[in-house]
Structure 1
Amino acid sequence: MKKWLITGLLVTASTLLAFHSEEPLTRVTLGEKLFFDPVLSMDRTVSCASCHRPQFAFADTSTFSKGIHDKLTKRNTPALTNQSGRPSFFWDGRAATLEEQAKQPIISPDEMGLPIDEAVKRLNADSTYVQAFRKIFNSAPTEKNLLQALAAFERTLETANSPYDRYINGDDNAISATAARGRLLFIGKANCNNCHSGEDFTADRFKNIGLYNGTTLKDAGRFDITHDSAQLGFFKVPSLRNVAVTAPYMHNGMFRTLREVIVYYNTPDALIHDGIKRDLSLNTPLNLTDTEIDELEAFLKTLTDDRFINQ
């Protein structure tokens, strides 16, 4: 089990007072400490880990996470695992690097609510942090090296030790026969790999899957960043790694279970028939049977890294 998971589950106020003596001081260990330290929130009550919970693949189990003063985020918290190779971040893709991503929750008034200059000032008032930053960066804390440290830690949150990984590496018994049939559905009849492709099961694109209608579903997604009408209702296609532990699903957390997600894709019009600019590939029902839905769900569960399976 990775040390970062153990740290994330057991972190307390007392453990935040010092760095782990058994670990060398690096950008990663500094970033880990910052990730779990509420010093980066305005009222010192919220840390990055408050929303990105380690035992759930650094996602959250709430539809919307709570920031300072119990303010709710505007979108569901996405998982932070397997992000090192991504070209964009957030549901709307507004950040191009992990460093940019790390800054946004700190300064967001609905999340940590702390101006970045104030965050740097706080770190410079802490002799332990100053000593650590000087040792690693040969500099006192700055906005740049604060974000570099957080991003360095986030880049270590890679997962590739799932039953599925063992299966494709030659262990035919790593997944059940039901899940194996689900895998064939995933790449065949269900056509899931049209969007969820590659090693991390994401094509790193933006798609409109019909969850915007301008009335009951008002979040315009990517359009709010690009102001391109062709991207109205577009959202980033997330990785499916560890998807079984990152419920609820979609940018608005509207689906509580994987089965609900599959049922929606199977017959989108049955739930939302007025989605604006929905991708044409979703206009034809998949015609999956109940058994096939079970098989596809079983396959998706095999994408969970071993460290999360018993959480």
Structure 2
Amino acid sequence: MVLLSLVAFIFIVAFQPKTEGNEVLTKEQLGEKLFFDPILSKGMAISCASCHIPAFAFADTAAFSIGDKGTKLPRNSPSLTNLSGRTDFFWDGRAASLEEQILGPLSAHDEMDLPIQEAVERLSKNEFYSTAFQKTFKTEVNNKNVLSAIAAFERTLETTDTPYDRFLDGDEKAMTEAAIRGRILFIGKGNCATCHSGEDFTADRFKSIGLFNGKDFTDSGRYKITSDSSHLGVFKIPGLRNVAVTAPYMHNAMFKTLREVVEYYNTPDKFVKNSINRDLSLGSSLNLSDGEMNDIVAFLEALTDDRFKKNN
């Protein structure tokens, strides 16, 4: 754990933009500085990068991130890569844009606990940020441009430099034989592509995969937002790019490895008894062999951008 923290710290320091005092930052560069700066948490104890670590595809290696006051948060922090095309944010889909999403952790009492107006006031009193916002936005710090800057940075976190992408471009040796077999299984027998489709491997929909039974597993997911009983246990389908470096998995971090995830989908009843509202596509075992499950994992690993491979 100490080693992981050290790696993350080194990566964060290296990732931060180097700027001169008189340089005019782009909106994305300004958002990047804000993303890594603990000035945006009430006690200045954490930054956005504390829970979304660059070396791990902007996810967290901990099951549950720690907020500004040392409070353990209730859900696993997802990756922030490849979000520019998404239509819903958070596990329960309660935000409809990256800008709206940023407001969530910023103002949440157990997270950064710095409502946007307080953040604006703090940044306005900071000589660097006061000047930087004037230069970048031609106006003083305000609610809109703070959120706009951070969202602009997050929209740059698109990743396509993977073995899978090179394979699609015609490099037949870019993926291992196991990953090639895994891709066929992912699309076919494994039925994974039903939910994880498109360029970023998400259908931008919500599904219940059976991780709610009201007893052992009590997070009701999207139901908390909509109060619609059909949404009990329903969560946002995450994209799968860089998934191999974002463990642990699921909103409740119950799986430590991709192999465990695939095993769950293969035989969900072995993991969660009496699931409520589980999707019909998971009504029975997929009957995947050990070798087939390993091949699917190999394919998922081939979705890792090279920049994250090199840092892990």
Question: Which of the five TM-score ranges fits, normalised by the shorter chain?
Answer: over 0.9
The share of aligned pairs that are identical, in percent, is: 58
Shift of 1:21: 3.0
In 1, the alpha carbon distance for the partners of 2:131 and 2:18 equals 11
User: Structure 2 CA distance, aligned partners of 1:196 and 1:64?
Assistant: 24
Contact 1:65 1:72 (8 Å CA) reproduced: yes
Unaligned runs of 5+ in 1: 1-5
Instruction: Please give the TM-score of this superposition, normalised by the length of structure 1.
Output: 0.94
Q: Out of 4, 9, 13, which is 1:11 matched to?
A: 13
- Residue 21 of structure 1 corresponds to 20
In the other structure, the counterpart of 1:3 is none
Alpha-carbon displacement from aligned partner over 1:120-178 (angstroms, at most 9, x marks no partner): 11000012111111111111111111000000000000000100000011000001111
1:209 aligns with 2:209: yes
Secondary structure, in 3 states, of the residue corresponding to 2:87? coil
1:200, 1:240 within 8 Å by CA — same for their partners in 2?
yes
The runs of at least 4 aligned residues of structure 1 exceeding 6 Å deviation read none
Q: CA deviation at 1:273?
A: 2.2
Report the CA distance between 1:9 and its aligned residue: 1.4
Greater Cα shift, 230-239 or 127-136: 127-136
Please report how far the alpha carbon of residue 11 of structure 1 lies from its aligned counterpart in structure 2 after TM superposition.
2.1
Q: Counterparts of 2:276 and 2:39 in 1: how far apart (Å)?
A: 42
Q: State the Cα distance separating 1:19 from its structure 2 match.
A: 5.5
The CA deviation at 1:115 is 1.9
- Which amino acid in structure 1 is aligned with residue 214 of structure 2? G
Could you report, residue by residue, the CA deviation over 1:89-117 in whole angstroms, capped at 9, with x for unpaired residues?
00000000000011111111111111221
- Provide the residue aligned with 2:150 in structure 1: 150
1:171–1:24 Cα change, 3 Å: farther
Deviations 1:173-200 (A, max 9, x none): 0011111000000000001000000000
Using the TM superposition, name which of 68-77 and 239-248 deviates more: 68-77
The alpha carbon displacement at 1:237 in A equals 0.3
* Shift, 1:10, TM fit: 4.2
Alignment of 1:101-180 (within 5 A): 101-180=101-180
Consecutive unaligned residues of structure 2, counting only runs of 5 or more, are 1-7
**CA distance, structure 2, for counterparts of residue 24 and residue 267 of structure 1:** 55
Distance in structure 1 (CA, Å) of the matches to 2:9 and 2:270: 44
For the Cα contact (< 8 Å) 2:24–2:132, is it kept in 1? no
The question of whether the paired residues in 2 share the 8 Å contact of 1:99 and 1:147 is answered with yes
1:194 alignment partner in structure 2? 194
Q: CA RMSD in A?
A: 1.8
Q: Quick check: 157-166 or 65-74, which moved more?
A: 65-74
Report if the CA contact (8 A) 1:255-1:261 is conserved.
yes
Counterpart-to-counterpart distance in 1, 2:38 and 2:125: 15
- 1:72 corresponds to which residue? 72
Q: Distance in 2 between matches of 1:55 and 1:223?
A: 33
- The separation in 2 between residues aligned to 1:282 and 1:121, in whole angstroms, is 50
- Change in Cα spacing, 1:10 to 1:277, as seen in structure 2 (3 Å) is closer
Partner of 2:43 in structure 1?
43
1:65/1:77 contact within 8 Å kept: yes
- Who is 1:250 aligned against? 250
Asked if 1 retains the 8 angstrom alpha-carbon contact of 2:12 and 2:49, the reply is: no
Alignment partner of 2:69: what SS? helix
In the alignment, is the contact (CA less than 8 A) between 1:87 and 1:97 conserved in 2?
Answer: yes
CA distance in 2: counterparts of 1:66 and 1:220, whole angstroms: 22
CA contact (8 A) 1:223 1:233 kept: yes
Alignment length (residue pairs): 303
Using the size of structure 2 for normalisation, the TM-score is: 0.94
Letter in 2 for 1:156: T
Show CA shifts across 1:277-307 (max 9, x none). 1001101110000010111110100000000
CA distance in 2 between counterparts of 1:50 and 1:308 reads 17
Q: Hey, what's the Cα distance between the residues in 2 that align with 1:24 and 1:257?
A: 43
Q: Supply the distance in 1 between the matched residues of 2:273 and 2:155 (Cα, whole angstroms).
A: 39
State the alpha-carbon separation in 2 of the partners of residues 7 and 276 from structure 1. Answer: 41
Counterparts of 1:48 and 1:228, CA distance in 2? 31
Name the CA distance, whole Å, in 1 between partners of 2:190 and 2:19. Answer: 47
